[in-house]
Amino acid sequence: MKQPSNKAQEKAVSHVKLKFRGLTAIIKQKKGPFAVYVVLRTLVLIALGISLWRGRYEHTFLCVLSLILFLMPTFLSENFGIEFPSAMEIIVLFFIFAAEILGEIQCYYLRFPFWDTMLHTLSGFLLAACGFGMVDILNKNPRIKFNLSPAFLSTVAFCFSMTIGVLWEFFEYACDLLLRTDAQKDTIITSISSVALNESGENVPVLIDNISDVVVNGQSLAVGGYIDIGLIDTMKDLFVNFIGAVVFSVIGYFYVKNRGKGKIAKHLIPTYRGKPEPSEESGS
């Protein structure tokens, strides 16, 4: 009865040692991303402690979510064999920190009008890189009869980025509709045109210009104009996502067309290094 137990313990210890050696190798290979990870993780843990002390449990959730997202590149690498270049991994870590900790908790979305625009542009760029990498992995795999032209690869990367961008806007809209959040931020505008205001019932828009105030239930909101509830913010986000996706799609096109000569693309496109063999995982 003791022999199987000893073998199980030896196997568990061997598995832990293998994982530890793998983690050590990753740290040595990617000193830059690991240093950034340690610094940002420390800052998030500090923010987590402050949030708990202040009783801001919604901020606590964002801190925990950030810590989980920080582990995603390593998780994908260890379990699916997807290798992220160091430069891209660092950008992803900073992106998560800028979006969740600085944007939400430190209110950078409100303090700096460009913050949300910058992040959506960057997300469009990064998502195009991910989409490009996934298809390029298949394109270079000799076991798969899959040979796409550079133009088609770039188109797939662009469509992947825009699709994720649209799905994210769906998510924001669902949160605002069901949870009464304000993910799709309002925009103050001073003119509108609408066919609903045409008293003749014709399909001709009526222009209302120089709007200076909005009255709700008899009370002035004193916001200096008309409140657009999310439409302009959504379209702006999709447009800057479009710009980021186009920029990387162009970079990716020339990277594939001149394989190995793209200095920017090779630092941003994920690659496939293969998953560990079962025999290695078992320690045999």
Q: What is the DSSP code string of 102-152?
A: IIIIS-HHHH-THHHHHHHHHHHHHHHHHHHHHHHHHHH-TTS-----HHH
Confidence of residue 42 (pLDDT cuts 50, 70, 90): very high
Residue 180 neighbours by CB under 8 Å, 6+ apart: none
159 within 8 A of 279, measured Cβ to Cβ: no
Of the candidate ranges 24-28, 76-80, 121-125, 179-183, the one whose mean pLDDT is the lowest: 24-28
Determine the 3-state secondary structure of 228 from DSSP.
Answer: strand
116 within 8 A of 103, measured Cβ to Cβ: yes
113 Rama sector, left if φ>0, alpha if ψ -120 to 50, beta otherwise: alpha
Q: What is the pLDDT of residue 4?
A: 52
Q: What is the pLDDT of residue 265?
A: 84
What does the alpha-carbon distance between residue 242 and residue 86 come to, in Å, rounded to a whole number? 25
Q: What is the pLDDT of residue 281?
A: 44
As a whole number, mean pLDDT of residues 115-140 equals: 90
pLDDT of residue 152 exceeding 80: yes
What does the alpha-carbon distance between residue 100 and residue 94 come to, in Å, rounded to a whole number? 10
Burial class (CB in 10 A: 0-12, 13-18, 19+), 157: buried
Q: What is the pLDDT of residue 17?
A: 59
pLDDT of residue 99 exceeding 70: yes
* CB-CB neighbours of 40 under 10 Å: 20
Q: Which residue has the tokens 């939400």?
A: 104
Confidence of residue 21 (pLDDT cuts 50, 70, 90): low
Q: What is the pLDDT of residue 258?
A: 83
Pairing between strand 82-83 and 271-272? antiparallel
Determine the 3-state secondary structure of 222 from DSSP.
Answer: coil
What does the alpha-carbon distance between residue 74 and residue 83 come to, in Å, rounded to a whole number? 9
Q: Residue 267 gets which letter from DSSP?
A: G
Determine the 3-state secondary structure of 163 from DSSP.
Answer: helix
63 within 8 A of 48, measured Cβ to Cβ: yes
Confidence of residue 63 (pLDDT cuts 50, 70, 90): very high
Of the candidate ranges 12-16, 32-36, 68-72, the one whose mean pLDDT is the lowest: 12-16
Alpha-carbon distances, residue 179 vs 79, 104, 203, 229, 235 (angstroms): 34, 17, 35, 15, 21
Q: Tell me the CA end-to-end span of the chain in Å, nearest whole number.
A: 23
Whole-model pTM: value is: 0.83
What does the alpha-carbon distance between residue 147 and residue 226 come to, in Å, rounded to a whole number? 52
Higher local confidence (pLDDT), 88 or 264: 88
Closest C-alpha to 33, from 82, 80, 70: 70
